[in-house]
Amino acid sequence: MASKAATKRLTREYAAIGKNPPPYITAHPSESNILEWHYIITGPEETPYHGGQYWGTLMFPPNYPFAPPAIRMHTPSGRFQPSTRLCLSISDFHPKSFNPAWEVSTILIGLLSFMTSEEMTTGSVSMTEAERKQHAERSRWWNSTGGGSHASAKIAQKGNIKAGDGGLKFKSEWPDVDKENWEWMSKNSIDLTTGFAPPPADTNSCGRQLGIGQGSGQTQAVVDAVVQQRNAGRSWISRNKVLIFVSFVLVYTALARWLGEGDGDRTGL
């Protein structure tokens, strides 16, 4: 149970963070326990986490602010082990180094700063940029479906908030965000079992061949090449039969006319 000093301090900080939330961060205490805070970090631009939705908790001790909270991030990020206590100078791993002047916003800003660095500590993991981007793309799905466990949800145990609960805990703490996530998944046809969007439709499966259609000159060159290949094995007569036929008709007509004129001259004698 929270002390009076902790309750007073956290109530004041909740009002302050609501009026002036830090960039990329939103947070609130649980309705049932003021010592249990839930936060969402939105991945900043120009980082592998851009657009990601990272949900986590701060578990404050009853004597806060004279001792720091336990810090966890439940959403897989490629930076931290999900639902694992993080060893930071602002967490319960180092109570002697914690400054009572630090507030919830200070703690979360410090967490975001550490997240976007490459420094390693207890609870952190090392992954590629591509892997972290993939986690960011699937983060909304993971939060609201419990990593695809929504079809067979189980009540999560203490200290393992997210595992197998089908997104129930996330929904109870972030109902509006959860609704937005489901609408986003429906709009983008997200596979609810995997969190992946369908591949783009192949609107031109055949594709362009030999560059045809990319320019009239190139098209004509292709046509000329086809004609040359077609004519390569044919005889001169076969290739020029039209010309021969026309020539034959002209010769025949001229000969008939000449013979006709000769007959007329003999009749006149």
Position 216 scores a pLDDT of: 43
User: For residues 110 and 260, what is the distance between their CA atoms, to the nearest angstrom?
Assistant: 113
User: Is residue 87 among the annotated active site residues?
Assistant: yes
- Three-state secondary-structure class, residue 75: coil
Per residue in 75-116, pLDDT (tens digit) is: 999 999 999 999 999 999 999 999 999 999 999 999 999 999
Q: Show the DSSP H helices in the chain as ranges.
A: 4-19, 104-115, 129-145, 168-173, 175-187, 216-231, 236-239, 241-268
Catalytic, out of 59, 87, 125, 153: 87
What is the chain's mean pLDDT, rounded? Answer: 83
Residue 207 clears pLDDT 50, i.e. is over it = no
Which residue in 87, 95, 132 sits closest to 114, CA to CA?
87
User: For residues 162 and 254, what is the distance between their CA atoms, to the nearest angstrom?
Assistant: 101
Residue 269 clears pLDDT 50, i.e. is over it = no
Per residue in 241-268, pLDDT (tens digit) is: 555 655 655 655 666 665 665 555 544 4
User: What's the pTM value of the predicted model, to 2 decimals?
Assistant: 0.74
Name the packing angle between helices 4-19 and 104-115 (round to 10°): 60
- What average pLDDT does range 56-60 have in this prediction? 97
